[in-house]
Amino acid sequence: MASSTPVNISEGVRKAAILIMSLEEDDAAALLARLPRHEVERVSIAIAQMDTVSGQEQEQVMREFLESRPSIMGPNAGGLDRAKNLVMKALGKEAADTISMLQQTLESLPFGFLHKVDPQNILSFVIDEHPQTIALVLSHLPPATAAGVISGLPLDRRLAVIERIAEMGETSPDAIEEVEGVLSSRMSLFLTQGFRKAGGVPAVAEMLNVCDRSTERAILDALAKEKPELVEEIRRLMFVFEDILKLSDKDIQTILKHVETNQWAMALKGASEALQEKILSNMSQRAAEMLREEMDFLGKVRLSEVESVQQKIVDIVRSLEDAGQISRPTGDQEEEYVA
């Protein structure tokens, strides 16, 4: 595999890419469409190469454009797919040439074949290599990928690799190509195989969702003693905002007493019509009218803000269930009630 020197990104282009990555995809594409073709290419390459941007770096860039917009600060995803989507939305039918150029440019980068490989898989192939070799590989990977590999190394090797990356200057193209060729050859079978993902936190959440409540609580209580963070992650997947639709009217009326109208207004902006109607039908006519008015008044809102409020309401639902004030149905169907 032939290697080439990584595409240099000027500071201005990098900042433009970070700014665009901070926007909603449609807004980002609209902004990208206003740039000259050659600038679209430069910015899209920058987005594809950065993969992810830390909240701190994003904040520094945003401060140069906005004096106060803290709600949009935070890590944002880049990567090849994001760059392709933005280019397609910006250039439409004329995007093919730019996307082809983008793909070829990234594939020609040193260790470009590793950019979409999970850090743990990369770690398994490089963990026994000399720290200098590992440093060479990681210095050509996206920061988030390299960080995932570094975190899996033993402490002494981790420090040795970090020191070598920090001290690394220019590297011979021949040396890069040699290491890349050996690693590519070793990973060739792995990279061409298809893998099916199984298990994981979502699988546990699905299983516990259909367990009886006593079994669910016993498992989570025992697990919480050793891994409370894992329990929190599982519980967040076990009940999502749309699942409120499965609750009885009585339980929804209980929840309404603990959630402010402005919270419902924001949360229901991203909810199905069925759930909106379920909530509104359990309110008084006046309260429902006020909620509808507040939802209309909000206008267009960020999905991240909607999801944040929805999660707060889900947390309230969970706390009410733990307190025995409401009863969440088991499985996909609502429980039957008798008089």
Q: Look at 100 and 157; give whichever has higher pLDDT.
A: 157
* Amino acid at the residue 284: S
For residue 206, what are the CA distances in angstroms to 90, 199, 201, 283, 325? 39, 10, 9, 31, 23
- What is the per-residue pLDDT for 191? 54
Rounded to a whole number of angstroms, the CA Rg of the chain reads 25
Question: Residue 53: beta bridge partners?
Answer: 76
Phi (first) and psi of residue 52, to 5 degrees: -135, 160
The answer on pLDDT for 282 being more than 80 is: yes
- What is the per-residue pLDDT for 102? 63
Closest CA to 171 of 179, 160, 161, 159: 179
How many helical (H) and strand (E) elements, i.e. helices and strands, does the chain have?
A: 19, 2
Q: What percent of the chain has pLDDT over 90?
A: 12
Give CA–CA dist 62/22, Å, rounded: 9
Three-state SS at 335: coil
Contact 120, 152 (CB under 8 A): yes
């070598």: which residue's tokens? Answer: 164
Question: Ranked by mean pLDDT, which of 193-202, 211-220, 225-234, 282-291 comes out on top?
Answer: 282-291
Mean pLDDT of 76-84: 60
The answer on pLDDT for 334 being more than 50 is: no
Q: Look at 318 and 285; give whichever has higher pLDDT.
A: 285
Q: What percent of the chain has pLDDT over 70?
A: 74
Contact 260, 227 (CB under 8 A): no
Token pair belonging to 62: 């945003």
The answer on pLDDT for 81 being more than 80 is: no
- What is the per-residue pLDDT for 127? 85
What the chain holds in terms of domains, given with CATH numbers, is 11-107 (no CATH), 112-192 (1.10.220.30), 198-238 (1.20.5), 242-339 (1.10.220.30)
């969440």: which residue's tokens? Answer: 328
Sign of CA dihedral 171, 177, 182, 184: positive
Token pair belonging to 108: 């020609």
Mean pLDDT of 57-69: 64
Give CA–CA dist 248/246, Å, rounded: 7
- What is the per-residue pLDDT for 167? 81
Q: What digits encode the pLDDT tens for the residues 241-255?
A: 888 988 899 999 999
Give CA–CA dist 296/265, Å, rounded: 9
DSSP code for 67 = S
Helix axes 173-192, 131-138, angle to 10 degrees: 80
Give CA–CA dist 42/48, Å, rounded: 10
Give CA–CA dist 262/290, Å, rounded: 10
- What is the per-residue pLDDT for 65? 60
Q: What digits encode the pLDDT tens for the residues 160-193?
A: 888 888 887 776 777 777 777 777 777 666 555 5
The answer on pLDDT for 63 being more than 80 is: no
